[in-house]
Amino acid sequence: MCLTIPGRVIEKKNNLAIVQNYNNEKKEINLALLPEIEIGDWILHTVGNVVRKIEKDEAKQIIELLESQEITDISKSSTDFQNIIKKVQTETLNKQEIIYLLNCRDEESKILRSEANVIRQENLKDFFCIHGIIEFSNHCNNNCLYCGLRRDNTELKRFRMTPDEIIKTALESIKEKGYKLLVLQSGEDTFYSKEDLVKIIKKIKEKEQVFIFISIGERDYQTYKELKEAGANGVLFRFESTNRDHYNYLHPNQSYDKRFEHLKWFQELGYFIATGSIIGLPGQISDDIADDILFFTKNKFPMASFGPFVPSQNTPLEKSEAGNTDLMLNVIATLRLLNKYAKIPVVTAHETLDPTNGRKKALQSGANSLMFNLTPDKYRDSYRLYDDKYFKEEKIWEKYGLFNEPDSYEMLEKKLKENL
């Protein structure tokens, strides 16, 4: 679903109003749905139409997250930095230029993120995607060194939702909260057969208009083909690392080539692909991150899923240092400079490391998507990818989504198709 934008009515003539947004931009809005709106009222609007009236205090909660960062002065940066920012406006960057941006500090990092936010606003306006994720199983056949769901973690309380539970949770999220984009995620758990997954997707799609992303790891080509035919729209499937040696170290007894073959399958089958890597893993260097960004950009994937490393108990990397949030913001900003129309989410791992300001900083660095947890309470704490996983009630954000408006699905469909 897409975020509606708060604004204040400053002029009105019949059913048309001039509304001033959080960034002082003025827009003409059709008030036909709520003709009683008066000058001075705060409203939510999207694609030229009013959605509902709100209180000023409620509007401020969203405005605080969307408003621009402090004004920056690019003249205070180095000549090298200025040349890179100028170059990216018309052409892609090379590896060394990307590394320079990743390693920006102080004033240059502020300018980098501000530039990325401007590019987001210029190219995507106020389009934000809000996803709901249902984590339906924490069983996993793999033994990734960083992941709390790894097979050898005997301390983790395991769970599996039944197909009926998954369907019920999805339909309630759509009907009661208005979600239009869901992610069905699990560990690599072959307990669920191809037929089970097809049935789940079909049952949801038969009842409601919704975009379904699947995040179930590596399966065979035929499974993904039939899931697409059943109604799955997208896949969330990180490549984790483009460095073969690093990938093999992190993923014992898994195939680097098979991982990347899956991405080719998804492109061939017409999936909307969300992919990326983990930032700050032990052994990773700036060269690796730059290669990951270049790989993402070269393949023109429509959605980036890059997130910081968060250590997890009962894993070989539990004593390792967590990823750096400043580096993560530079990654988001660099991705935005190179991928003007991509969907870039604020991932949960980033908010886990910075629960107070992580979301706001990421949005102001070029991100434009959010993901909220819809996993039932009795299972949520057991889906422990890493420690202290961020979660809070998202009622204020859910209130601002285009949930039950009849055109919300169609608008989201149009926006997503622009990137396919």
Residues 270-309: tens digit of each pLDDT: 999 999 999 999 999 999 999 999 999 999 999 999 999 9
Strand blocks (E) in 206-312 = 211-215, 234-236, 272-275, 278-279, 303-304, 307-308
Looking at the chain, the number of H-run helices and the number of E-run strands are 16, 15
Give the integer Cα–Cα distance in Å for 165 and 200. Answer: 10
Count Cα atoms within 13 angstroms, Cβ side, for 336.
30
Q: How long, in residues, is the chain? A: 420
5-66, CATH topology level: SH3 type barrels. (2.30.30)
Structure tokens at 392: 């809070």
Structure tokens at 151: 């097979």
Every domain of the chain with CATH number 3.20.20.70 lies at: 124-389
Residues 89-147: tens digit of each pLDDT: 889 999 999 999 999 999 999 999 989 988 888 888 767 788 899 999 999 999 999 99
pTM: 0.85
Residue 313 to residues 144, 148, 187, 281, Cα–Cα distance (Å): 13, 7, 17, 15
180 and 211 Cβ atoms separated by less than 8 Å: yes
Phi, psi of 375 (to 5 degrees): -60, 135
Give the integer Cα–Cα distance in Å for 42 and 8. Answer: 4
124-389 belongs to CATH 3.20.20.70: yes
Q: What is the chain's pLDDT, residue by residue, as a tens digit (420 residues)?
A: 445 678 899 999 888 999 988 767 888 998 888 889 999 999 888 767 887 788 888 787 777 766 655 556 777 789 999 999 999 988 999 999 999 999 999 999 999 998 998 888 888 876 778 889 999 999 999 999 999 999 999 999 999 999 999 999 999 999 888 888 999 999 999 999 999 999 999 999 999 999 999 999 999 999 999 999 999 999 999 999 999 999 999 999 999 999 999 999 999 999 999 999 999 999 999 999 999 999 999 999 999 999 999 999 999 999 999 999 999 999 999 999 999 999 999 999 999 999 888 988 998 899 999 889 999 999 999 999 887 877 666 665 555 554 455 455 555 556 555 555
Helix (H, G, I), strand (E, B) or coil at 342: coil
Q: In degrees to the nearest 10, what's the CA dihedral of 173, 177, 181, 187? A: -40
Every domain of the chain with CATH number 2.30.30.140 lies at: 5-66
